[in-house]
Structure 1
Amino acid sequence: MGVHAAETEDGGGCCDMRAVFWEILPGILGALLALVIMVPLLYYPFQWSVDNGKSPEYSVAVAAFSGLDPARAIMDPTFDLTVRIKEPRKWSTACVERDTTAVVSYRGARLASGPVPGFCGRNENTTEAGSVMAWGTAVPVPQFARDRLAEELARGEAAVDVALMGPARYCVQCVQTVIECKPRLGRGEASPPCSVRYEHPTLPDDPARRLQEARKQLRTPQEPVMGGMEFYVSQIATSS
């Protein structure tokens, strides 16, 4: 009788444990599901917040150049450029847009320009586009700029200004990206980090519109301008 009672008590304990397990199982599964959902939701914003503290670096190197002779007032310069993007962020991307133009100038005198292929830097790497050619034909260079260029080339300290002009889109909220760099000549080394600014592009002057306005003025009859003697004779005729 006593043994039977003990077996009954043990069997009841097992049933109670199973009942408790089945009662708490939905809560455990719900907690695991919430953990699976919340980890990515918290992880990616955390990574993006870490990326927000960093910014990409752009640089330009002059791999080679020719036609830059300070003794000549008219030059035909050519520059072989290398454009680099150092992207320290893992979850963001920095790009040089397609249809970007590289403009090379010295002391405010524009020397050359050429197209830059679109490319991007990502995943904490450095990406570059080489053999970006910029050239100019029959470019007049002021005397003061040529004198300064001759001095800096002799010292090995000559540097040019390179502006990467992004494509201009004309709308109310459109901005044009301008990346300004200052690489040295003759060394092939990357420039210091370029500055990046955003500006609203202005509409270009339309030559066709200017020609149309000129033709309109030519078609408009103009009143003759009388000289001094003609004006005097006309006054006498009027008074008489």
Structure 2
Amino acid sequence: MGAHASGTEPLIDDGGRGGGDGGCCSNARELFWDILPAVLGALAALVFAVPLLYWPYQMSFDNGKYPEYSVAVAGFSGLDVDAAAAGRATPTPTLLDPTFDLTVFIKEPRRWSTACVPRGTTAVVSYRRVRLASGPVPGFCGQNENATEVGNVMAWGTAVPVPRFARDTLADELGRGEADVDVKLMGPARYCATCYQLVIECKARLGRGEASPPCTVRYDTPTLPDDPARGRQQARKQLRTPQDSSE
């Protein structure tokens, strides 16, 4: 049998589909399966990249913004001005039982950050470096560009000795309505190499109940308190005389 004449029969049996479309579809399928892993990989990378890029982009709007803390003295008692004035000529300290009703504010201007007063914080109220009262502060936070406050934070002292210089000045300033107290919020102290203690220092006016100017915020490295037993041992050593040492 001779060779087929040109144009009489197809050289390749395409199963009745006609022409060369089968080879074209086969090549397209092979190309699809070849590029599918790359497409899936690109989609997976995009899924992981979007959150990583989105959050820094959102956080960039908070750059340069810082929370503000403030304190107000809503009420106070135990600062007997008459007794302080009557004792001006007496050099001995006056014993007071002061009580302060405080309100603590947090103004958080950032949307994607949170500022907190941690649980275990203590409020210390002082006047001219004389500690008058202290009390616990409940933990709370401010966030989402809002102002948050917590009231009825009580600080108190019992039989607090107030020296004459502070007593006289306090009586004068209370009489003029210009007495300020220092309020320090001291976070819980944890003792480790990388631990820090939040300290918020404010100056609040007595008698008006208005919020103080923005407080100063710092982070201190807490130090271990002195061992009372060790202190007593050192005191006994200092009290020993040379004669006792020779014996």
What is the CA distance between 1:62 and its match in structure 2? Answer: 0.7
| Alignment partner, residue 164 of structure 2 | 143
- For residues 160-181 of structure 1, the C-alpha deviation after alignment (integer angstroms, 9 at most, x for no partner) is 1000111222233322221000
What is the CA distance between 1:109 and its match in structure 2? Answer: 1.1
What is the CA distance between 1:138 and its match in structure 2? Answer: 1.0
For residues 45 and 155 of structure 1, do their structure 2 counterparts lie closer, same or farther at Cα, with a shift above 3 Å needed?
same
What is the CA distance between 1:142 and its match in structure 2? Answer: 2.1
Q: Which runs of 5+ in 2 are unaligned?
A: 1-17, 85-93
For residues 215 and 162 of structure 1, do their structure 2 counterparts lie closer, same or farther at Cα, with a shift above 3 Å needed?
same
Q: Which runs of 5+ in 1 are unaligned?
A: 1-7, 226-240
Contact 1:70 1:147 in 2 (8 A): no
Residue identity opposite 1:41 in structure 2: L
| Alignment partner, residue 177 of structure 2 | 156
Structure 1, 72-81 or 164-173: larger mean CA deviation: 164-173
- For residues 132-157 of structure 1, the C-alpha deviation after alignment (integer angstroms, 9 at most, x for no partner) is 11001111212222222223222222
Structure 1 residues 88-107: aligned runs within 5 Å: 88-107=109-128
Q: 1:63 aligns with which of 74, 85, 90?
A: 74
Q: Which has the higher helix share?
A: 1
Structure 1, 49-58 or 207-216: larger mean CA deviation: 207-216
Alignment partners' CA distance in 1, 2:191 and 2:203: 28
Q: 2:58 aligns with which of 38, 47, 57?
A: 47
Q: Secondary structure at the match of 2:217?
A: strand
Q: Secondary structure at the match of 1:160?
A: strand
What is the CA distance between 1:50 and its match in structure 2? Answer: 2.1
Contact 2:116 2:139 in 1 (8 A): yes
Residue identity opposite 2:66 in structure 1: S
% same residue:
71
Residue identity opposite 1:65 in structure 2: F
| Alignment partner, residue 218 of structure 2 | 197
Alignment partners' CA distance in 2, 1:143 and 1:110: 14
| Alignment partner, residue 243 of structure 2 | 223
- For residues 173-220 of structure 1, the C-alpha deviation after alignment (integer angstroms, 9 at most, x for no partner) is 3222210001111111111110011222232222233345567889x8
For residues 224 and 62 of structure 1, do their structure 2 counterparts lie closer, same or farther at Cα, with a shift above 3 Å needed?
closer
What is the CA distance between 1:25 and its match in structure 2? Answer: 8.1
Structure 1 residues 117-128: aligned runs within 5 Å: 117-128=138-149
Contact 2:184 2:202 in 1 (8 A): yes
Q: CA RMSD in A?
A: 3.2
Q: Secondary structure at the match of 2:170?
A: helix
For residues 32 and 170 of structure 1, do their structure 2 counterparts lie closer, same or farther at Cα, with a shift above 3 Å needed?
closer
Residue identity opposite 1:121 in structure 2: G
Residue identity opposite 2:100 in structure 1: F
Contact 1:89 1:122 in 2 (8 A): yes
TM-score w.r.t. length of structure 2: 0.73
